[in-house]
Structure 1
Amino acid sequence: MEQLAGKNIVITGASGGIGAEIAKLCAARGANLVLLARSMDKLEQLQKQLQQRHSVKIAVYQLDVSDTEQVRAVFPEIFQAFGQVDVLVNNAGFGIFRAAHEAGIEEMKAMFNVNVIGLMACTSMVLPHMRERRFGHIINIASQAGKIATPKSSVYAATKHAVLGYTNALRMELADCNVRVTSVNPGPIATNFFNIADEKGTYVKNVERFMLQPEYVAEKVVNAMLTKTREINLPRWMNLGSVIYTLFPKTFERLGRRMFNQK
């Protein structure tokens, strides 16, 4: 509980969902917060709520992580205001569940720009400082979709595969710098993510009973901060599926095709 007291934590996509829940838990544990998202109204509302409850420093900045010029502009302001970043949580992301032949090119670009390029851009802004200090933690919110690609989420799954590849390489690069890197691979979470991802509501209806609560996921993430945790896989039974997929991909795809196509 005390390891986060006084630490500076930056969270992207902090205006709702697990980003907001992570912020609430970090503030309760005495961490200073930098909250980033596109919706300034929601950020300011969360900031006010947390400052009424906790005596920590909280700053909010409007940021679309897909806009690299904004990323370049905002992070120097953060360093000027806070001095250092101890933990970066790359949480911003979105998905659209659509068959590959139905996905538009602009839609593909948008998902990669937010989920992959935005994550890399934010990380690149804190890396030199963490390496110099030989201290820090980068937490990338990926997905079980980065381990098991399924029909109607080909583009989204590709972005999360990219996040996992980047995260795993980054972890090895920073192993001698005392900078820790963790990937978080949750299954479906009960947030407004699906307002965009699942326009027809079919997927939510089929997996509703398996959905994780954002508070539960957030607690797992916050408990792992500044520890040597390599991955957080939720739920565990779903991660077992990714292990089986790696060992027996052909059989897994043949047996699971019908179920996965229920999106």
Structure 2
Amino acid sequence: MMMNLSSQLKELRNLKNRIVLITGASSGIGQAAAFEVARKGAIVVLVARNELKLNQVAQQCMLYSGRPAYAFPVDLGQVGAIDDTLTKINHEVGAVDVVINAAGFGDMESAVDTDPAVTDQMFRVNVLGLIYITRRLASAMIDKHYGAIINVASVAAKIPTPNSAVYTATKTAVVGYSDVLRQELRPFGIQVTTVNPGPVATNFFNVADQSGNYLAKVANFTVTPQLVAERLVDTIGYHVREITVPRYFSALSKVYHIWPDGGDFVIEQLFKDRGKHQQASAEDPS
């Protein structure tokens, strides 16, 4: 039975005509992932708040894939809206084979300066929205005995830095949720993979880091959304636990957890003159 389940998952390595739902698809990693799966012939279902951008991405996906692409604008902080949208997708498009949860936003403020309303919204979008979507789609995947769930977290969940306490907390929650979900769904032949990108060169920093101080410190560590998307899509159809982009952050995170005091000291020295930054709101995790 397990061999048959593994065989069904392997079929997802060919994405032609597979239905792939992507949240946060209007920009950044979500958009790059949409283009990547479209190039492989997938039927792409795009979810984000910005309807205009979603429609533009959908048009481009159709050019890449020669297949239909669908745009469903929704506020992922609203559970009722998520339920309605998923019901609509099931009726209008069909059962989802792969979900890539890439939606999220960050806030570059110190822990004591973070507005409680921002904290609430960040958890609603980054954590609860992901959980609500995953719960519905995973239930259907269990019935089919195959599927893939890719959750975009952040290297911040492995190597925390100052002025990102709430963001780090949300991404740590995503990692923890995914780890348990993986244990529960693997017997049904369902893949659960966590993606931990380092700083990503998107418009996230244009809002989050208006002074440019933070980006200057991490400039040598940034990666493109395209690289993250390529690595992410390459895991589909495999029981991969997690990937970290760039790869050397995986080694750094292990060192940090072996020697946390030393890690804290290095990070504090690197960011000691970092000032307060404005909130960054984008369906594009960094």
Q: Which residues in structure 2 correspond to 1:54-203 (within 5 Å)?
A: 54-203=65-214
Give TM-score, length-normalised by structure 2: 0.88
CA contact (8 A) 1:96 1:198 kept: no
Q: Given the alignment of the two structures, is residue 244 of structure 1 paired with residue 255 of structure 2, yes or no?
A: yes
Give TM-score, length-normalised by structure 1: 0.96
Shift of 1:53: 3.8
The CA RMSD measured in Å over matched residues stands at 1.4
Count of matched residue pairs? 263
Give unpaired runs (5+ residues) of structure 2.
1-11, 275-286
Q: Given the alignment of the two structures, is residue 255 of structure 1 paired with residue 266 of structure 2, yes or no?
A: yes
Q: 1:211 aligns with which of 208, 218, 222?
A: 222
Shift of 1:143: 0.3
What SS does structure 1 have at the residue aligned with 2:77?
coil
Residue 224 to residue 2, structure 1, CA distance change in 2 (3 Å): closer
**Equivalent AA in structure 2 for residue 237 of structure 1:** Y
State the match for 1:34 in structure 2: 45
What SS does structure 2 have at the residue aligned with 1:212?
coil
- Counterpart CA distance in 2 for 1:187 and 1:9 is 24
- Counterpart CA distance in 2 for 1:261 and 1:33 is 43
Greater relative contact order (Cα < 8 A, sep 6+): 2
**Equivalent AA in structure 2 for residue 57 of structure 1:** P
CA contact (8 A) 2:142 2:188 kept: yes
CA contact (8 A) 1:137 1:179 kept: yes
State the match for 2:240 in structure 1: 229
Shift of 1:214: 1.0
Runs in 1 of length 4+ with deviation above 6 angstroms? none
- Counterpart CA distance in 2 for 1:96 and 1:200 is 14
Q: Structure 1, residues 154-174: CA drift from partner, whole Å, max 9, x if none?
A: 111011110000000100011
Residue 185 to residue 211, structure 1, CA distance change in 2 (3 Å): same
- Counterpart CA distance in 2 for 1:133 and 1:163 is 24
Q: Structure 1, residues 37-92: CA drift from partner, whole Å, max 9, x if none?
A: 10000011111222234311211100111111110100011111222111000000
What SS does structure 2 have at the residue aligned with 1:93?
coil
Shift of 1:201: 2.4
CA contact (8 A) 1:34 1:59 kept: yes
Q: Structure 1, residues 10-32: CA drift from partner, whole Å, max 9, x if none?
A: 00000011111111111110111
Instruction: Report which stretch shifted further, 236-245 or 177-186.
Output: 236-245
What SS does structure 1 have at the residue aligned with 2:82?
helix
What SS does structure 2 have at the residue aligned with 1:191?
coil
**Equivalent AA in structure 2 for residue 169 of structure 1:** V
**Equivalent AA in structure 1 for residue 51 of structure 2:** M
| Matched-pair identity in % | 38
